Amino acid sequence: MVVAFKTKNEAVYERLRHDIIDGKLKPGQRIVISDLSKEFGFSEIPIREAIRRLDSEGLLQVTPHVGTIVTKLDEKEVTEIYLIRIELESLAAKLATPHLSQVDLDFLNKKIQEMELATCRHNYEKLGLLNKDFHLRIYRAAPYPLLFKLIVDLWEKVQRTRSVFALVPERAIASVKEHRKIAEALRRKDADLVERLVRKQKENSMKTLVDYLGKNSETD
């Protein structure tokens, strides 16, 4: 049995990074080192090391003599990436439609059931992961590996966009309904409808996130 060993620095880094990406720590939220030290039961040294690492990755912003906050999402960057994703993902979904097997369709339906449960439990972190699993299972079925890689790279570039459900919880219920429509269109092998539904869903997600960022920047 292999037991993974993590240093204190790694443990703090992974926890903070996870909480930022999944929206538990919100854009602009203040990070207090002394509070984290008490929470983890560590000295402030590994806390500061983890924060420096997250600062270098752009997830935290450290201002000398002021403090540390969770970096705010860049509205222009989010919009640009979503616009590209809308085109690539709607295309990939259309191209994948004839190639999805019954096993794939069963997988998608199972994910929708899990999404409904996560929504009922207000587990928006889980919902974001299920959403990613659902979509990538579809796109992977298309016989175009470069297209799939481009999509995955874009998902990874702005991982924090999966926190849309944590930032705007009311988006969750509508999203689950959209997934059901996509799964039904895939079952019917209606590639044009699949393309339209995926495009519309991504447009809805983009609008929700950009509206959230706009409103919160106005209150700063």
- Is 51 within 8 Å of 62 (Cβ atoms)? yes
Q: What is the pTM of this model?
A: 0.78
What residue has token string 């998608």? 108
Q: Which two tokens stand for residue 21?
A: 């990406």
Q: Which residue has the tokens 């874009």?
A: 154
Q: Which amino acid is at 94?
A: K
Give the tokens for residue 179: 């997934």
Residue 170 pLDDT level (bands cut at 50, 70, 90):
confident
**In the chain, what are the domains?**
8-70 (1.10.10.10), 75-218 (1.20.120.530)
| Residue carrying structure tokens 């906050």 | 69
Task: Say yes or no to pLDDT of 2 above 90.
Answer: no
32 or 159, greater pLDDT? 32
Identify the helix (H) or strand (E) that includes residue 219. Answer: none
Q: Are 160 and 17 in contact (CB under 8 A)?
A: no
The residue behind tokens 């519309």 is 200
pLDDT score at 218? 53
* Strand-pair partners of 61: 69
Nearest C-alpha neighbor of 220 from the set 25, 31, 28, 58: 28
pLDDT on residue 4: 42
Residue range 187-208, pLDDT digits in tens:
999 999 999 999 999 999 999 9
Nearest CA-CA partner of 130 in 115, 151, 140: 115
Question: 153: part of which helix (H) or strand (E)?
Answer: helix 145-157
In this prediction, residues 168-195 reach a mean pLDDT of 95
Does residue 94 carry a pLDDT above 90? yes
User: Residues 108-157: pLDDT tens digits?
Assistant: 999 999 999 999 998 888 898 899 999 999 999 999 999 999 999 888 77
| Pair 45, 37: CB distance under 8 Å | no
Q: At a CB cut-off of 8 Å and minimum separation 6, what does 159 contact?
A: 21
**Which band of pLDDT confidence, cut at 50, 70 and 90, is reported for residue 74?**
confident
pLDDT tens-digit readout, 4-59: 447 888 889 989 988 887 778 888 899 999 999 999 999 999 999 999 998 988 88
To 10 degrees, the CA torsion angle through 49, 54, 56, 61? -100
Strand order from edge to edge, sheet including 30-31: 30-31, 67-70, 60-63
Looking at residue 209, its pLDDT comes to 87
Neighbours of 41 (CB within 10 A): 7
What is the band of 220 on the pLDDT scale with cuts at 50, 70, 90?
low
Give the whole-angstrom CA distance, residue 140 versus residue 149: 9
**With 60 as the cut, is the pLDDT of residue 163 above it?**
yes
